[in-house]
Amino acid sequence: MRIDLHCHTSALSPCSEMTPDEMMAAAVNVGLEGICLTEHNRVWSAEKADELSQKYGIAVFRGIEVTTTGGDILVFGTETEPEGLLTPQQLKMIVDAENGLAIAAHPFRGFLLFGFGMLQMNVSDALDNPTLSQVHAVEVCNGKVTDEENNFAGQVADALGLIKVGGSDAHSSEAVGACVTILHNPARNERELIAAILNRQFSLERAK
């Protein structure tokens, strides 16, 4: 099952340039069988997500990208929208209470601006990032960062034994499907999606 784990729409994320319908049309056009709504600090209602799914004939999963003091964290399996700026530890308590999934989103995106040499960070340095102790997985295929940044995230995830996931981080229809998660078995809801990721029953693909 081909899905995009990380997308934003103008309905709930002001920074996005695409409407929900544009996102869904793009997903169908690139051959996705599912897509995840991960708006900034907002959760879609189950009813509205189901309406989109029925209209376009592909699965729609609900998540949220939470801004924390330690960076952005994707969460699945929660209905809780954050009140104020949370620490990663506070967010993890919420995620654990709801049996959810926490993913460090684009954790090394700063390299896009400054480069590895200027930041002078190696894998050993990155292991000390306290946010990484509060997540189940790390985004290692993000459509908005460089291959170098994605590869570095992968090395850090391997060193920590964390699950490696990916998503487009699309804010425009052209970006949908830039990083695709391929589940070994179809997921019918967020619980099955979480289980597939936690059990590492998937592979990743980056669009050429």
Mean predicted confidence (pLDDT) in 66-93: 95
pLDDT for the residue 202: 98
Give 125's contacts (C-beta < 8 A, 6+ positions apart): none
The answer, yes or no, to whether residue 118 has pLDDT greater than 60, is: no
**1, 25, 130, 173, 197 from 35: Cα distances, Å:** 10, 11, 29, 12, 15
Amino acid present at 148: E
Dihedral pair phi/psi, residue 194, rounded to 5°: -60, -45
Is the model's pLDDT at 41 over the cut of 80?
Answer: yes
Tokens 């289980």 identify what position? 195
| Mean pLDDT of all residues in 16-40 | 98
Residue 120 confidence (pLDDT):
58
Predicted pLDDT at 112: 42
Mean pLDDT confidence for 153-178: 96
Lookup: tokens for 151: 């590869």
Closest residue by Cα to residue 150 from 168, 136, 133, 134? 168
pLDDT of residue 111: 52
pLDDT at 201 > cutoff 70: yes
- pTM of the entire structure? 0.92
Predicted pLDDT of residue 115: 47
pLDDT for position 130 = 87
pLDDT(117) > 60? no
pLDDT at 148: 87
**All domains in the chain, ordered by first residue:** 2-206 (3.20.20.140)
- For residue 183, is pLDDT > 50? yes
Average pLDDT over residues 176-190: 97
Give the pLDDT of residue 114.
Answer: 46
In this prediction, residues 107-112 reach a mean pLDDT of 70
